[in-house]
Amino acid sequence: MPPIGSVIAAGNIDDVALNFTDSSLIVLGLVLAVIMFGIALDTRVADFRHVFKLPKAIAVGIGAQFLILPAVTFGLTILLGVGASIALGMIVVASCPPGNISNVLNYRAGGNVALSVSMTAISNLIAIFVMPVNIAFWGGLHPEASAILEAVNLDALELLGEVVLIIGLPFVLGISIAERHPAFAAKAQPLVKRFSLLALLAFVLIAFGSNFSNFKDHMLIVAVSVFLFDTVAFSLGYGISSAFRLERENRKAVTFEVGVRNTGIGLGIVFSFFDGLGGMALVAGWWGIWDIIAGLGLAGWWARRPGGRETVAEAES
């Protein structure tokens, strides 16, 4: 049986890229920094203290995200036989931290919200240092994607430096403001979050809109790859938390923390370091859409089952 990539895709998506000027990349970096600043405004130092209250659940969730998910994703790209840029896009997304939408989905499903919020905060902090290493390591191991890393001359330390500058500093600044001025942070966070997401969405739509004809022949392979990728991520989160016998509410929290990735960061990395390479951009862009669809479906299903948010509310009323 030939690789799925050779069956579905026509042409070579690895030759398609979204080109940007230096000024547009600076704007993208600022947008990415504002996104992380907005996330941090909704984070408190107390969120990190749950590592001492629920160390087992935190360790399982963090290990699944940064150790197991990138490795499993690497294996999935080999199994599917997708093109180099699609494979590297999947590895980049798998290396990203979870997005705040995981907390919302977890609440809807009746999971442990405090654990979810804590894992999101800790994961975003860890990702600043681990994400560049995972991208360089697993991308470098891939027989085809490694050529892209060599072509862009990606250095893990250089990527780490830029990630710390664009993501790390805004994250620390946002937490500091949230701790010292909580009232201001509570008012500013929704506005900052909306502005940054709309700015990123506009950036992506403009980029893809002017290059749509180059991508339409490759949408099916990307959609199939992302569907399988997302299914594996959610299954991994639930499977590993079940294997370690976590309580039901904690299993839900770990599932969403592993299954939901912050593709805003992923897109920023693709555009900033890989010149908007076709397959990578498509994977990160479509993942952000499908991830929410799949997450809402799973959260809704869990909410209607015994112990879910809806059944608990009905019992209390």
Alpha helices in 69-165 (DSSP H): 69-80, 84-95, 101-109, 113-141, 145-152, 156-163
pLDDT at 301 over 50: yes
Which residue, chain included where needed, has tokens 């494979």?
87
Q: So what's the pLDDT on residue 3? A: 46
Range with the poorest average pLDDT among 121-135, 138-152, 197-211, 246-260: 197-211
pLDDT of residue 204: 66
pLDDT of residue 10: 41
Q: What is the pLDDT of residue 179?
A: 86
- Considering the chain, what is the average pLDDT of its residues? 81
Grouping H, G, I as helix, E, B as strand and the rest as coil, residue 74 is: helix
Interval 272-284 mean pLDDT: 82
Interval 19-47: pLDDT, tens: 566 676 677 778 778 877 877 787 777 76
pLDDT band at 264 (very low <50, low <70, confident <90, very high): confident
CA distances from 116 to 62, 138, 167, 243, 297 (A): 11, 27, 21, 19, 18
* C-alpha to C-alpha distances, 169 to 55, 103, 122, 143, 187, nearest whole angstrom: 27, 23, 15, 34, 21
**CA 14, 16, 20 angle in degrees (round to 5)?**
125
List, in sequence order, every residue forming a beta bridge with 17; answer none if it has no partner: 277
Q: How confident is the model at residue 6 (pLDDT cuts 50, 70, 90)?
A: very low
Look-up: residue for tokens 């690895």? Answer: 14
Domains of the chain (ranges, CATH numbers) = 18-316 (1.20.1530.20)
pLDDT digits (tens, 9 = 90+) for 170-183: 888 888 898 888 88
CA neighbor of 132 nearest in space, from 36, 278, 285, 268: 268
Mark residue 17 as left, alpha or beta (left: phi above 0; alpha: psi -120 to 50; beta: remaining). Answer: beta
C-alpha to C-alpha distance for 145 and 277, rounded to whole angstroms = 12
Amino acid at 308: G
Phi, psi of 166 (to 5 degrees): -85, -35
